Amino acid sequence: MEFSPVLYIAIPLFAAFLIPLLGKVSKTLVKLTPGIVFLYLSYGSILLFPKAMEKPIVQVVAGFKPPFGISLYYGATAAFLITMVTIVGFVIWLYSYKFIIREPIEKYYMLFMMLITGSTGILLTGDMFNMFVFLEITSIAAYSLTAFLRDKDGAEAAFKYLLIGSFSSTFYLLSVMIIYSYTGTLNFADIAGKIDLIPPMAKGFVLVLVLVGMGIEAEMFPLNGWAPDAYSQAPSPVGAVFGGIVVKAGLYAMIRIVFLFFKTPEVMQFLIFMGILTLLIAEMAAMRQHQIKRMLAFSSIGQMGLVIIALGIGTMGSTSAALFQMFNHALIKSLLFFAAGYLVFHSGSKQIEDLEGLGYDKPVTSFFFAVGALAIIGLPPFSGFWSKLLILVSVAKAGDIAILLLILTGSVIEAIYYLRAVVKLYTRKEVPDNVRRTPISGLVAMGVLAAIILYVGLYPGVIEKWLAPAANNLLNAADYIKAGLF
Amino acid sequence: MISVPVILSVMFLGGVLAWLANRFVPKGASWTAAIIAAFAGYLVFALPSCGGEYSLALGSITLVWKSTNYSALFAMLVAVLGFLGILYSMDFMAGKKNLGYYYMNFLFALGAMLGIVYSQDLVSLFFFWEVMTWSSFMLVIYSGEEKSHKAGIKYFAYSAIGAYLILSAIVILYAQSNSFLLSENIKMFSGMSLGTQIMVISFLALGFGVKSAMMPLHVWAPEAYKESPSGFTAVFSGALSKMGIFGLGLVIFKFAANTEIFGYVRETLAWLGGLTAMLATFYAVIQSDAKKLLAYSSIGQLGYIIVGLALGTPLGIMAALFLTIMHGAFKAMLFMTAGAVYMRTGTTSLNDVSGLITKMPLTFLTALFGIISVSGIPPLGGFISKWMLYQALLETNHYFLIIVIFIASTAAFLYLYRFIFSFFLGQKEKEVEHVKEVPWSMLVPMMFLTLFVLFAGLFPGVILDPIGKAMGYLGNFKASWEPQVVFSAWGEKINMQVIAGTIGTIFILGALFIGYKNKKATRVVSTKDIHTAGEIPTENENLTYAVNFNQPFERAIAPILKWSVDKLFNLLGENLESTFEYLRYVYTGNGQTYAMYVILMVVILILFSGSIFGIHL
């Protein structure tokens, strides 16, 4: 059978339904299933990725040609991001293998698979309503995962997430309705061609609704109140899922819609402005956090702000830099969440204060945390350096020195709070003997991520060569329309 | 084939190797590191100074390395000091924990410095600049004490600000020239708009100024120097801070030189350098910790170097580069001495130990030569640079600056004398009875550098040769020299050996004379504590000789020192953090508030959609 893009959605969905059944047979099977799924999906990526880079693959579901049926659009951007999701997903599975020991594990993996389904769906779909469906799948899985530990804090965080998330889906659905009522179509490419049919007023509403609705998913300030709680109360691998997968999909959705329908200088200005606000306020808030996972959450928001700025610049260079930054952030933040997960586990406390001395007691886990911190600050020779450099270059090319300096201000703050946490780890202190060890699967997961981060840092070319087609696919609305409608 | 990539790989892979060696072989790390550093040092010296270009394509960015005469000068400094620092560390660090970590970061820092000087493109320069920053940060926090962590964070924060200023300048340049190549940017710089020029020059100067601890950007240095292990402090002060000088040289003579604002840039930097020299010296005088004293001294000496560079005359640059080399040598000597004292007595406080001269004679000798060289007394190397610097100042009619520099040089005697007096002279305390001289592996680097400063004083021409070539790279400066001779601004020749001979003779005659005259008057007596004048001191009173050594001077300069930028910056930082604390409460933790934000956002966007998006609803 030839691998087709629809399998990116179908396989995880199938696995999600299969897992509870397998749970009756054997727990080990449940645990192994996601790994097999990810391996199969990466095999698919290897097959399809080079093709998509040359020419978008558009697949029609259920035999109706676009614009009537639902179509999947596997272009260069989608290919790039889905590959990223696959890598991150695989590592998260590896990490969860020993980390999630609390029952019911089959529910955890089922929700995880649902979430992957939804995210790849968002990235793949060429249909606006279909995107809403996948958005809902992702969100519901994410709410449940937030409350997975079934404690008070988790439930509270999940409830906040649910509250804000429902705004997101409602607003998005409203915008879909408005668009459909004027254009009579739901296909992205088709709408893009007919966007002028919508009167300016309705268009303005759609724009606001999309920006706010998807801005919630993309953690744009001030819509990101859900994020710190959700990140910090969910189990650690779920934090990585949010930072590495969910938010990236949400941001992609927002940017895809904005770039297709509303790419005016004013909107781009607005994105830059919001990006700067998001970045600076998140970094400032992160500096004053006392809990390590909350700090990581705010840092995640800040990084999304940086990506939004780069996307708002809207040049070829800045868009590819933004995609690069998304890729790096997904990997690095996952590494940080993984390490933080076990550090919290070992110290028995979420407070940064209580991490003292762990650097000597748990050297490998702490080392990975330090690597992640250096990488996310943007220090060479790690991958974060290159994406940050490329973003700054593109900002300077756009000629706005003020933005450049604001981004760098954010980076200085970021450097300080990350190093404070790292230095806390390496404060000499007698730690009570702790026989618990970080399991091999967790270490392998972190090791894989650290290796990729270092490798990309030394040979940025391996990622960089795919950035240009991916950015082109995102930026160039005309090409998208042509390919999307055959 | 010796080439830049080979040298860099040796250093970085060597660092990893040292770390691995520590896992498997006891003492493996130090031996590996020493061998690696020696080998890399050999490669640096064997590398032809105008070698071919090597480039490495990393995606869309190409890194280019090449050895120039200018880089060769700094590379040699790094290689020699690096090797000596590691040699010194072998016994100094013996028995400490995490030696693999120590030597790995040490070699990384050395490799990064070499990377900086060999870089021919701005990305590679910045890349290694950051590697240098974090590897040296790792060494500052090595001890794992709370204090070292504070110092480390402070160091990193200032370095990050400096580095990001450099980065801004780099991307601004790239936006104009479409190239990261140093040569391209230099070529196109004079054609850029005045605004860009001012921005780029000031960003670069500030960024490099942080590393070279130019006031008011020096506040990280004293703590960071104090907290890093002494073997590395020697390199930190001697070579790493010189990377800032390396950069400033490029900024002044490669970028600013072809612009209209050249004169202003030079004057500003010269004055900043002069004030740095003076104020840092004052601060050095009031320190009671040897390493902090040396740190301030180091800041001051870099101030001299900046003055020399900023004068921009051949003699000034020559003085600056000569002092760069000499300062590398004598400040490394002094930090090594302080480290040696620390190793044997467990403290670097000037108020706690005294009378070590008989116990550690060779360390004393190193310290003596070190302070003579710092203070610029002939016949040692420091004299030559000071001499040329004064000549250059006279030549360019900077009379006020001469006064500032002169005050600084004079005040320097106070702290230098205190350094050697409190540790080595004065009454011998009971506590130092058991003290022994430090092991050979520490004495060898110290003695080597001692001989070097003596040699540099007698044959300055040997060092002036590579300096002259480096000046050729910076601009069309024609400088001439002969092995034993220093030139003055008016073309006079001063033969250093004659001076050395004269001084040596006077010294020996004086010593003989005093010895002979006092021979009869000398009585050996036991020391009596009479300085408490009959009062019985309480137990916690520090009776060491050198307590409050420079008290009168401290009182005299107290009004000046009341204004401290350090305090100002700290206050600023604290206020910023408390502002952040308020901002943090934007995130109240209350779901309803968050929902309200969402609604508000929608309302605002709809109300102002006309002005925000240009769409009127």
Q: What is the DSSP string of A2-54?
A: ---THHHHHHHHHHHHHHHHHHHH-HHHHHHHHHHHHHHHHHHHHHHHHHHHH
Contact check, Cβ <8 Å, A460/B58: yes
- Both B464 and B609 in one domain: the answer is no
Backbone φ and ψ of B349, nearest 5°: -75, 135
A211 → closest Cβ in B128, B581, B605: B605
Question: Residue B236 and residue B228: Cα distance in Å, rounded?
Answer: 9
For B473, the enclosing helix (H) or strand (E) is: helix B460-474
B262: exposed, middle or buried (Cβ count in 10 Å: 0-12, 13-18, 19+): middle
The residue with greater pLDDT, B141 or B561, is B141
- Residue B135, both tokens: 């590897």
A40-68 confidence digits (pLDDT tens): 988 888 888 888 888 888 888 766 666 67
Q: Tell me if residue B193 falls in helix, strand or coil.
A: coil
Half-sphere exposure of A410 (CA within 13 A, CB side): 30
Under a CB-based contact definition with an 8 Å cutoff, are residues A76 and A52 in contact? Answer: yes
pLDDT confidence of B383, banded at 50, 70, 90? confident
Least trusted range by pLDDT, from B121-135, B215-229, B474-488:
B474-488
Half-sphere exposure of B507 (CA within 13 A, CB side): 9
Q: Does the structure show a pLDDT above 90 at A326?
A: yes
- Residue B268, both tokens: 């500003």
Mean pLDDT, residues A348-354: 85
Output the pLDDT for position A170. 92
CA-CA distances (angstroms) from residue B6 to A461, B17, B21, B33, B586?
A: 21, 15, 21, 17, 53
Angle at B566 between CA B411 and CA B288, to 5 degrees: 45
Q: Which residue of B has its CA nearest to A202?
A: B617
Mean pLDDT, residues B520-546: 66
Output the pLDDT for position B289. 87
Domain ranges for chain A: 6-485
Question: Residue B6 and residue A211: Cα distance in Å, rounded?
Answer: 52
For B472, the enclosing helix (H) or strand (E) is: helix B460-474
Task: Tell me which chain A residues have a C-beta less than 8 angstroms from the C-beta of B131.
Answer: 379-381
Task: Tell me which chain B residues have a C-beta less than 8 angstroms from the C-beta of A401.
Answer: 168, 172, 199
Question: Residue B492 and residue B496: Cα distance in Å, rounded?
Answer: 12
Question: Residue B196 and residue B189: Cα distance in Å, rounded?
Answer: 9
Output the pLDDT for position B191. 85
Q: What share of chain A is helix, strand, coil (3-state, %, to 5)?
A: 80, 5, 20
Least trusted range by pLDDT, from A401-410, B482-491, B519-528:
B482-491
Q: Distance, in angstroms, between B500 CA and closest chain A CA?
A: 49
- Both B473 and B615 in one domain: the answer is no
Q: Does the structure show a pLDDT above 90 at A136?
A: yes
Output the pLDDT for position A70. 82
Contact check, Cβ <8 Å, B59/A465: yes
Under a CB-based contact definition with an 8 Å cutoff, are residues B94 and B105 in contact? Answer: no
DSSP A243: I
Which residue among B493, B518, B552 closes a domain? B493
A104 in B contact zone (CB under 8 Å): no
Question: Residue B91 and residue B99: Cα distance in Å, rounded?
Answer: 12
Output the pLDDT for position A282. 92
A397 in B contact zone (CB under 8 Å): yes
Calculate the average pLDDT of chain B.
Answer: 85
Q: Which residue of A has its CA nearest to B613?
A: A266
For residue B600, what are the domain limits?
589-617
Output the pLDDT for position B306. 92
Q: Which residue of B has its CA nearest to A409?
A: B161
Which of A170, A224, A284 best tests the B interface by mutation, with the highest count of B CBs <10 A? A284
Residue A293's closest CA among A102, A157, A160, A171? A157
Mean pLDDT, residues B165-183: 90
pLDDT confidence of A333, banded at 50, 70, 90? very high
A363 in B contact zone (CB under 8 Å): no
Which of A172, A379, A394, A462 best tests the B interface by mutation, with the highest count of B CBs <10 A? A379
Under a CB-based contact definition with an 8 Å cutoff, are residues A100 and A341 in contact? Answer: no
B594 → closest Cβ in A160, A204, A413: A160
- Count of A-B CB contacts under 8 Å: 182
Task: Tell me which chain B residues have a C-beta less than 8 angstroms from the C-beta of A217.
Answer: none
Under a CB-based contact definition with an 8 Å cutoff, are residues B237 and B295 in contact? Answer: yes
Task: Tell me which chain A residues have a C-beta less than 8 angstroms from the C-beta of B143.
Answer: 428
A287-324 confidence digits (pLDDT tens): 888 899 999 999 999 999 999 999 999 889 899 999 99
Helices (H), ranges, A57-104: 76-99
Task: Tell me which chain A residues have a C-beta less than 8 angstroms from the C-beta of B602.
Answer: 171, 208-209, 212
B584 → closest Cβ in A216, A285, A392: A285
A159 in B contact zone (CB under 8 Å): yes
Output the pLDDT for position A47. 85
A13: amino acid identity, one letter = L
Q: Helix axis angle, B381-395 relative to B361-375, nearest 10°?
A: 10
Contact check, Cβ <8 Å, B594/A225: yes
Question: Residue B299 and residue B454: Cα distance in Å, rounded?
Answer: 23
Task: Tell me which chain A residues have a C-beta less than 8 angstroms from the C-beta of B127.
Answer: 380-381, 385
pLDDT confidence of A334, banded at 50, 70, 90? very high
- Both B456 and B595 in one domain: the answer is no
Backbone φ and ψ of A220, nearest 5°: -80, 140
Q: Tell me if residue B348 falls in helix, strand or coil.
A: coil
Task: Tell me which chain A residues have a C-beta less than 8 angstroms from the C-beta of B168.
Answer: 392, 396, 401, 404-405, 408
Q: Does the structure show a pLDDT above 90 at A448?
A: yes
Contact check, Cβ <8 Å, A264/B174: no
Scan for tokens 């220093």, then name that residue.
Answer: B486
Task: Tell me which chain A residues have a C-beta less than 8 angstroms from the C-beta of B612.
Answer: 266, 270
A401 → closest Cβ in B161, B172, B589: B172
Q: Which residues pair with B119 in a beta bridge?
A: B65
Contact check, Cβ <8 Å, B131/A380: yes
Task: Tell me which chain B residues have a C-beta less than 8 angstroms from the C-beta of A281.
Answer: 583, 586
Q: Which residue of B has its CA nearest to A379?
A: B130
Mean pLDDT, residues A172-177: 93
Output the pLDDT for position B493. 65
Task: Tell me which chain B residues have a C-beta less than 8 angstroms from the C-beta of A272.
Answer: none
Output the pLDDT for position B450. 92
Output the pLDDT for position B488. 53
Question: Residue A278 and residue B583: Cα distance in Å, rounded?
Answer: 12
Residue A258's closest CA among A58, A85, A250? A250
B44-61 confidence digits (pLDDT tens): 888 876 667 888 887 778
Q: Does the structure show a pLDDT above 90 at A454?
A: yes
- Residue A130, both tokens: 């279909």
Which of B584, B592, B607 best tests the A interface by mutation, with the highest count of A CBs <10 A? B584
Residue B382's closest CA among B373, B390, B391? B373
Q: Which residue of A has its CA nearest to B142?
A: A426
CA-CA distances (angstroms) from residue B276 to B153, B214, B219, B320, B401?
A: 23, 6, 12, 15, 12
B240-258 confidence digits (pLDDT tens): 999 999 999 999 988 888 8
Contact check, Cβ <8 Å, A393/B589: no
- Residue B18, both tokens: 């040292």
Under a CB-based contact definition with an 8 Å cutoff, are residues A257 and A179 in contact? Answer: no
Q: Tell me if residue A127 falls in helix, strand or coil.
A: strand
Q: What is the 3-state secondary structure (H, E, C) of B210-269?
A: HHCCCCCCCCCHHHHHHHCCHHHHHHHHHHHCHHHHHHHHHHHHHHHHHCCCHHHHHHHH
- In percent, how much of chain A has pLDDT > 70? 97
- In percent, how much of chain B has pLDDT > 90? 27
Contact check, Cβ <8 Å, A223/B598: yes
B415-461 confidence digits (pLDDT tens): 888 888 888 887 777 777 788 888 888 899 999 999 999 888 888 87
Which of B102, B146, B179, B580 best tests the A interface by mutation, with the highest count of A CBs <10 A? B580
Output the pLDDT for position A414. 92
- Both B462 and B596 in one domain: the answer is no
Q: Tell me if residue A71 falls in helix, strand or coil.
A: strand
Task: Tell me which chain B residues have a C-beta less than 8 angstroms from the C-beta of A288.
Answer: 577, 580-581, 584
pLDDT confidence of B593, banded at 50, 70, 90? confident
B302-357 confidence digits (pLDDT tens): 999 999 999 888 888 888 999 999 999 999 999 999 999 898 888 888 888 878 88
A208 → closest Cβ in B127, B580, B606: B606
Length of chain B: 617
A364-381 confidence digits (pLDDT tens): 889 999 999 999 998 888
Which residue among B493, B526, B559 closes a domain? B493
Output the pLDDT for position B245. 93
Q: What share of chain B is helix, strand, coil (3-state, %, to 5)?
A: 70, 5, 25
Q: Which residue of A has its CA nearest to B162?
A: A412
pLDDT confidence of B147, banded at 50, 70, 90? confident
Task: Tell me which chain B residues have a C-beta less than 8 angstroms from the C-beta of A454.
Answer: none
- Residue B73, both tokens: 């000068």
Half-sphere exposure of B345 (CA within 13 A, CB side): 27
Backbone φ and ψ of B55, nearest 5°: -125, 155
Contact check, Cβ <8 Å, A225/B141: no
Please list, residue by residue across A413-437, b when 16 or more beta carbons sit within 10 angstroms of its beta carbon and e when fewer do: bbbbbbbbbbbbbbbbeebeeeeee
Q: Distance, in angstroms, between B38 CA and closest chain A CA?
A: 25
Task: Tell me which chain B residues have a C-beta less than 8 angstroms from the C-beta of A416.
Answer: 153, 156-157, 160
Contact check, Cβ <8 Å, B59/A405: no
B152 → closest Cβ in A380, A413, A423: A423
A396 → closest Cβ in B164, B172, B595: B172
| B341 domain residue, yes or no | yes
Q: Tell me if residue A74 falls in helix, strand or coil.
A: strand
Mean pLDDT, residues A373-396: 91
Output the pLDDT for position A101. 74
Total number of domains in chain B: 2
Task: Tell me which chain B residues have a C-beta less than 8 angstroms from the C-beta of A171.
Answer: 602
B67-98 confidence digits (pLDDT tens): 888 888 999 999 999 999 999 998 888 888 88
| B46 domain residue, yes or no | no
Which residue among B475, B493, B511 closes a domain? B493
B286-299 confidence digits (pLDDT tens): 888 889 999 999 99
Under 8 Å CB-to-CB from B489, ≥6 apart: which residues? B315, B391, B392, B394, B395
